[in-house]
Amino acid sequence: MNELQLIPLLPFIILAMASVVTILLIAFRLSHTVIQVTGFLMMCLVVFATWYVRDTLPEEVPPLFIVDGQAALFTGVIIFCVLVIGLFSYIYFEEREENPKEYYILLFLATLGAAILTISQHFISLFIGLELLSVSLYALIAYLRNRNNAVEAGMKYLVLAALSSAFLLFGMALIYMEAGSMKFSGIAEKLPQVSSSPLFLMGLGTIVVAIGFKLALVPFHLWAADVYQGSPTPVTAFIATISKIGTFAVLLRFAQTIHLQQYPLIIAIFSVIAISSMIVGNILALRQQNLKRLLAYSSIAHFGYLLVAFLPGNEAGTEAAAFYLIAYSITLLSAFGVITLLSSREHEAETLDIYTGLIWRRPVVATILAISLFSLAGIPLTAGFLAKFFVLSAGVQQAVWLPLAVLILTSVIGLYYYLRVINTLFGTSGTADVMQKTVHPFFHVSTYITLVVLAGMLFWIGVFPGLVLQGIRLFLLLH
Amino acid sequence: MQQYLYLIPALPLAGFLVLSLAGRYLSRNFIAGIGAGSICISALITILLSARFLQSPPETGAYTQVLWHWFSVEGLVSNISLRVDSLSLVFICIITFIGALIHIYSIAFMREDRDYARFFASMNLFVCAMLMLVMADNLVLLYLGWEGVGLCSYLLIGFWYETPGNYRAANKAFVITRIGDTAMIIGLFLLFKELGTLYIPDVLARATQHFSSGADGVTLIAILLLCGGMGKSAQLPLQTWLPDAMAGPSPVSALIHAATMVTAGVYLIARMHTIFELSPVAMQITAIVGAVTLFVAGCSAMVQTDIKRILAYSTISQIGYMFLALGVGAWSAGIFHFFTHAFFKALLFLAAGAVIETLHHEHNIFKMGGLRKTMPVIFWTFTIGAAALAALPLVTAGFFSKDQILWYAWSAGGGHPVLWALALAGAFITALYSTRLILVVFWGEMKTTPGHLPSRVMTVPLVILAFFSVAAGWIEWPHNILHVDLFSEEVQHVLPATVLKEGLPAEIVFQLIAVVVSLIGIYSGYSLYYGQSPLLQQWKQSPTVMSVRDFFFSGWRFDQLYDALIVRPFLFITRINKSDISDKLYTAIANVSMLLNRQFSVTQNGSLRWYVTGVLIGILFIITLQLLL
C-alpha cells in the first residue's frame, strides 16, 4: 500500500476526521452552533474530496477496499442524507434537555460506518463498517436517555443487532472455512469448487440474516417499529436512510462479485423475503395511528420492493435500485423533516391527531408531507412513481412474475394508509399547536427551505428523471 | 406573417387564463375589454393573415408553425403545431370574425349577469379550443381541440346552473356527443394502426397508397369518423342534444351551437376527405344522414313555439345540407354553405336573444308579435337573416350556397334523385318556417310589452352580420349566371373538385325549380300565418293533424325512443346491480387485509424475547429451505 492508494480514500479519511474534530471542539467547550456549522462544512469537504478524487476512480485499495463509481454514488447519497439530517438535528436537539454535542461524534462515526460498507470488498471491512454503524446507533437511539421509549428502543436494537452480528460472523466463518478467503473476489475464484457445498450455502444463508436485520426485512423486521418510534426523529431518519443504503450497497457488491443471483436457492430465499416484506409491511401499516411507526412499516414494504430490483442481478436492476434508493431517501428525509419541525420539547409529533387539519394551519409543511406520502405511495409526477416503475421494468425483464404481482397488489393496499394520512391532513378540527421559538430563526428558516427544496426535488426527479438516471449510469460505469 | 400564427389561438387562451384566475377581482369594463379584446385582436390578425394568404399563397399551400414538441411515443409524434391551408382559413375567419362580433354583443347582453368573468372566460376558452381544432396539423391536437370545445359547450349550456333544467341539458349534450367522440377516437386508433401516423398531410398522402378504394378498413374508419362528426354536428341519430342546448345564453347559442362548434363535424369530414373518397359507402351514408336529418329537423322546426328551439332545429337541418353536400362529393359547396350559414344563423340567434331580452325572457313566439314598429333594427336584421335562411333568390347569401347544394344533390358524382327530392322538400319547409317566424314575431298585435331596447353595442354587430348575410354569397355565383367563383377556387386547393354526372337537364332547370319551391314556401307561410288563416283554424280542430304536429313538436319522439331503448334498460340494470358485484372483489381484498392486519399486529407486542424468536424462526426457515432444495 502506498500513498497514491490513499488518495481515493480521502473522502473517508475526512469523514473520520469529522468525528475527531468534533471531539476537539467539545474539548474547547464550543457551542452547539459552532459544532453544527463545522460538521456541515466537514461534510461539504467530503463532497468536495469525492469530487477531487473522481479521476482516480476506480481504484482498489487491497485487500479491504475498492473505491469505484458505485461506491462513490452510494457514498454521495449517504453524505447528502447526513447533511440534511445534521440540519434537522440542530433544531431538534436545541429544544431538548440533553446536551447535544456528543451526538455529532456518534452521527459522523455511524456515517463513516455506512460509508465504509459501500467500499468494502472484504469480510473484515464489512464487519468493521457494520459494527461501527451499529455501535454508534445503539447510543444514538438511546441518546435522549431520560425518556423511557428511547432507552427501550436502544436496548432492543442492541440485543437484536448483537444477535444478527453473531449470525454474520458465523456465516463469514463458514464461508471462510469452505472458500479459504474473506475477500469477495477470492471467494468468487473458489466458487466452482465450493458452490455446491452445504456449509458454504448455509454461510450465505446466515449472512442473509444480518443483512435482513439491518434492512428490516421480514421476518427480521420486528424491531423496526419500536426503534423508529423510540429514537429521536433525526436518528430515525438516519436508520431509515443511511444505515439501509450502506447495508444495501455492500449486499449489492457482494452479490455482484460472487454472482449471488445464480443460485436458485438464494433467489428463492430473497423472493420469499421480498414477498413477505411487501405483504407484512403494508398490512401492518394499515391501521397504524402513529406516523413514525407507520413509516417504519412502510419502509419494511419499500425494501421488499427494492429486493425485486435486486432479484434479477443485472445492470437494469442495479440502476433501478440506485434510483430507488435516491428517491426513497429524499422522500423519507422530507417526511421525517416535517415530523422534526412539528415536534416540540414535550411531544414528538407522531400521533396522527396532531396532523388533523394541518393543511389549514401550516399549509407549506402539510403540503411537503403530502408530497412525500404521495411519493411513497408511488403516485405519478413524484420520484416514488418512477422509482417503482424502474423496479417493475427491471423485474419484468427477468420475468420474476410472482414478486411483481405481489408488488403491484401490495402497492394498492399501501395506497390506503398513505391516503389515510393525507386525508387526515385535510381534516377539520385540529388542535392549535404552540410553536416554541427557542431556536435561532436562521436554522428554522434553513430547515424550512431544505424541506421545500426536497419536495421540489421529488417533483423534479419525478418529471425529469433523465439527469439523475444519466448520473447513475455514469457512476455505475466506473468499475 | 407566418410566425404570428400562434397568436390567433394564444390570445383567447391568455384571455381565458386572466379571466379565470383573476376574474373576480376585475371590474366589469376590464373583463369586457379582455374578453372581447382578445378575440378582436385575433380576428384582426386573421384578417391580415388571410389577406397575405390570398395575395401570395405559400408554395406548399399552407402556413405552418411548430410551437413545441408535445410527445413522441413509438412512432406517434405529436407536436403542438399549427397548419393553415385554405380550408382551415375559412374556418378561422368565421371563428374569429363572428366570434369577435358575438363577444362584442355579449358585452351588453351579459352586462347584468353575476358571473360576467366566468362567461367571458369560458367563451375565450371555447374560441381557443375551436381554433386549435381547425389549426391542428395532427389528429391528436385536433382531438384535443375537439374535446376542448365539447367541454366549453358543456360549461356554457349549463352556464345558469341554478335552474335544474339547464345542467340537465348540459349533461345531455355532453353524454350524447361523447358517443360520437368515442367512435371518433376509435377511428383515430384504427387510422394510426393502419397508417402509422396521425400527421394530417401524411395521413392523406398515405391513405391513397395504403387502402384500395372501397376497402373494409377505410370504410370502417370513415364511418367511425363520421359518427364523431354526427355527435358534434347533431346529425341523426345523435341530434337530440342540440334543441336542449338552447338553455345556454343566446350568444352561446349563436357562437357554439350555430356558427362554429356544431360545424366541427363538417370540418372533420372535409379535412379527412381522402379517407371518405376512398370509401363510397361512407360517402353514401354521409349523404343519406344529411338528407334525412335536414328533412326530419325541418319538420320539427316548423311546429316549435320556442323561438330558440325553432332556430336550433333549423341549425340541425342546415348542417344536414352541409353533410349532404359533402356526402355527394360537392366538397366546396358544403364548406360554402357553412360559410354563409355561420353569418345568418349567428345573426338570427343574436337578434332572437335581443328580442327575448327585451320581452323579459319570453321564449314563446305566440306571446310576441307586433315588434316591427318598436324594434326596427332588430326587425330588419332578423328579416334579412330569415330571408337568407329561406334562400330568397339572388339577394341573400343563403340562396347562393343552398342552390349549389340542391343542384349537386342530383348532379354530383354521389348524387341521387331521392336526395335531391328530400333537399327540395327541406328547402320548402325552411322557407315556410322562416316566414312563419317573421310573421308571428314581428307582425300582428303586441302581446308582451317590451322592456328597454337593446343598446348600440348589441345592434351594431347585428347590422354587420346582416350585411354579410347578404354579401357573403356574392363571392360565389352559380356558373351559368355569372362567372364568379372566388370561394370554390380557393377551397379547391385543398379539396377535390366536384365531379358532375353526364346527361342531366341544364342547371337552370334545377335552379328554377329551387327558386319556385322557396317562393312557394314563403307564400304558404304568408298565407297560413298572416292574419287569421281559416285553414290553420281547421287544422287545429283535426285530431290527425294535431297528432302529426305533436309528433313533429317532440322532435319525432327521438327522446322517448332513446329513453325506452337505452335509458330505462340501463337504469334497470343499475337497479338490479345496486350492490355492485365487481365491488365484492375489492371489499374482499380490503376485509382480508384488515383481518391480516389484526393478526400481524399481535406480533408487534414489544417483547424482546418474541423479537429474538422472530429472528430464529427466520434462520430456521432459511436452513429448512436449504435442506429442502
**B602: which residues sit within 8 A by CB, 6+ positions away?**
none
Task: Give counts: helices (H), strands (E), chain B.
Answer: 28, 2
Whole-number Cα distances in Å, B501 to B282, B414, B415: 19, 9, 8
* Contact predicate B153/B261, CB 8 Å: yes
For residue A289, the 8-state DSSP code is -
Distance to chain B for A470, nearest Cα, Å: 20
Q: Is B246 exposed, middle or buried (0-12, 13-18, 19+ CB in 10 A)?
A: buried
* Contact predicate B141/B80, CB 8 Å: yes
Cell 330569415, residue located? B386
Give the integer Cα–Cα distance in Å for B77 and B75.
6
Q: Which has more confidence, B519 or B372? A: B519
Calculate the average pLDDT of chain A: 89
pTM of this prediction? 0.71
* Contact predicate B290/B324, CB 8 Å: yes
Residue A460: pLDDT band with limits 50, 70, 90: very high
Q: Is A126 exposed, middle or buried (0-12, 13-18, 19+ CB in 10 A)?
A: buried
Give the integer Cα–Cα distance in Å for A358 and B219.
58
Residue B210: pLDDT band with limits 50, 70, 90: confident
Question: Which residue from B minimizes the CA distance to A207?
Answer: B619
* B61 residue type, one letter: G
B-proximal residues of A, 398-457, CB under 8 Å: 412-413, 416
Query: Can you name the residues that pair with B306 across neighbouring β-strands?
Result: B364
Helix (H, G, I), strand (E, B) or coil at A331: helix
The answer to whether A280 contacts B625, with C-beta atoms less than 8 Å apart, is no
Residue B109 C-alpha cell reads as: 347582453
* Set of chain B residues whose Cβ sits within 8 Å of the Cβ of A205: 619, 622-623, 625-626
Q: Convert B514-553 into a string of H (helix), E (strand) and C (coil).
A: HHHHHHHHHHHHHHHHCCCCHHHHHHHHCHHHHHHHHHHH
Q: Is B339 exposed, middle or buried (0-12, 13-18, 19+ CB in 10 A)?
A: buried
Helix axes of A244-258 and A184-194: crossing angle, nearest 10 degrees: 50
Residue B295: pLDDT band with limits 50, 70, 90: very high
pLDDT digits (tens, 9 = 90+) for B14-27: 999 998 888 888 88
**B531: which residues sit within 8 A by CB, 6+ positions away?**
none
Helix (H, G, I), strand (E, B) or coil at B556: coil
- pLDDT above 70 covers a percentage of chain B that reads 100
pLDDT digits (tens, 9 = 90+) for B530-587: 877 778 788 888 888 888 888 888 888 888 888 888 889 989 998 888 877 888 888 8
Residue A229 sits at φ, ψ, to 5 deg, of -70, -40
Whole-number Cα distances in Å, A170 to A127, A203, A260, A295, B100: 12, 7, 19, 32, 84
Whole-number Cα distances in Å, B251 to A46, A353, B97, B311, B350: 68, 52, 14, 13, 6
Residue pairs between chains A and B whose CB atoms are closer than 8 Å: 81
Rg (CA), chain A: 21
A157 touches chain B (CB under 8 A): no
Give the integer Cα–Cα distance in Å for A180 and A203.
13
Q: Does the pLDDT at position A117 exceed 80?
A: yes
The answer to whether B594 contacts A287, with C-beta atoms less than 8 Å apart, is yes
Q: Does the pLDDT at position A434 exceed 70?
A: no
Of B224, B172, B188, B178, nearest to B78 by C-alpha is B188
A177 touches chain B (CB under 8 A): no
Of B314, B293, B291, B294, nearest to B302 by C-alpha is B314
Q: Is B226 exposed, middle or buried (0-12, 13-18, 19+ CB in 10 A)?
A: buried
Residue-level pLDDT at A372:
94
Q: Does the pLDDT at position A35 exceed 80?
A: yes
* Set of chain A residues whose Cβ sits within 8 Å of the Cβ of B625: 205, 265, 268-269, 272
Give the integer Cα–Cα distance in Å for B35 and B121.
7
Query: Can you name the residues that pair with B500 across neighbouring β-strands?
Result: B412
Q: Which of B585, B621, B626 to mutate to test the interface with A (most CBs of A within 10 A)?
A: B626
Q: Does the pLDDT at position A435 exceed 80?
A: no
Handedness of CA B490, B491, B495, B498 (dihedral sign): negative
* Contact predicate B617/A219, CB 8 Å: yes
Cell 380490503, residue located? B590
Of B273, B76, B268, nearest to B181 by C-alpha is B268
Of A146, A147, A118, nearest to A58 by C-alpha is A118
Helix (H, G, I), strand (E, B) or coil at A3: helix
Residue-level pLDDT at A343:
85
Q: What is the pLDDT averaged over residues B599-613?
A: 88
The answer to whether A280 contacts B621, with C-beta atoms less than 8 Å apart, is no
Vertex A223 angle, CA A217 and A228, to 5°: 100
pLDDT digits (tens, 9 = 90+) for B342-352: 999 999 999 99
pLDDT digits (tens, 9 = 90+) for A159-184: 999 999 999 999 999 999 999 999 99
Cell 391528436, residue located? B140
Of A336, A319, A212, A320, nearest to A269 by C-alpha is A212
Helix axes of B376-389 and B397-411: crossing angle, nearest 10 degrees: 10
For residue B498, the 8-state DSSP code is P
Calculate the average pLDDT of chain B: 87
Q: Does the pLDDT at position A437 exceed 60?
A: no
pLDDT digits (tens, 9 = 90+) for A349-397: 888 888 888 888 888 899 999 999 999 999 888 999 999 999 998 888 8
**A31: which residues sit within 8 A by CB, 6+ positions away?**
none
* Set of chain B residues whose Cβ sits within 8 Å of the Cβ of A219: 614-615, 617-618, 621
Residue A476 sits at φ, ψ, to 5 deg, of -70, -20
pLDDT digits (tens, 9 = 90+) for B155-204: 999 888 888 888 888 998 999 999 999 999 999 999 898 888 888 888 88
* Contact predicate A112/A125, CB 8 Å: no
The answer to whether A280 contacts B593, with C-beta atoms less than 8 Å apart, is no
Rg (CA), chain B: 28
B-proximal residues of A, 253-272, CB under 8 Å: 264-265, 268-269, 272
The answer to whether B608 contacts A156, with C-beta atoms less than 8 Å apart, is yes
The answer to whether A198 contacts B623, with C-beta atoms less than 8 Å apart, is no
Helix (H, G, I), strand (E, B) or coil at B71: strand
B447 alpha carbon, distance to own chain's centre:
34
Helix axes of A69-94 and A244-258: crossing angle, nearest 10 degrees: 170
Give the integer Cα–Cα distance in Å for B518 and B433.
11
* Set of chain A residues whose Cβ sits within 8 Å of the Cβ of B600: 280, 283-284
Residue-level pLDDT at B225:
92
* Set of chain A residues whose Cβ sits within 8 Å of the Cβ of B597: 283-284, 286-287
- DSSP string computed for B175-244: HHHHHHHHHHHHHHHHHHHHHS--BHHHHHHHHHHHS-TT-HHHHHHHHHHHHHHHHHTT-TTS-THHHH
Question: Which residue from B minimizes the CA distance to A157?
Answer: B608
pLDDT digits (tens, 9 = 90+) for B37-71: 999 999 999 999 888 888 888 888 788 888 888 77
**A124: which residues sit within 8 A by CB, 6+ positions away?**
A64, A182
Does the N-terminal peptide bond of residue B237 adopt cis geometry, omega within 30 degrees of 0?
A: yes
Q: Does the pLDDT at position B439 exceed 60?
A: yes
**B574: which residues sit within 8 A by CB, 6+ positions away?**
none
Cell 343563403, residue located? B398
The answer to whether B597 contacts A286, with C-beta atoms less than 8 Å apart, is yes
pLDDT digits (tens, 9 = 90+) for B217-244: 889 999 999 999 999 988 988 888 888 8
Residue-level pLDDT at A241:
95
Beta strands in B74-132 (DSSP E): 76-84
Q: Does the pLDDT at position B128 exceed 90?
A: yes
Residue A438: pLDDT band with limits 50, 70, 90: low
Residue-level pLDDT at A405:
93
Q: Does the pLDDT at position B382 exceed 80?
A: yes
Instruction: Name which of A69-78, B267-276, B359-368 the model is least confident about.
Output: B359-368
The verdict on ipTM greater than 0.90 is no
- pLDDT above 90 covers a percentage of chain B that reads 25
The shortest CB-CB distance from B626 to any of A202, A222, A412 is to: A202
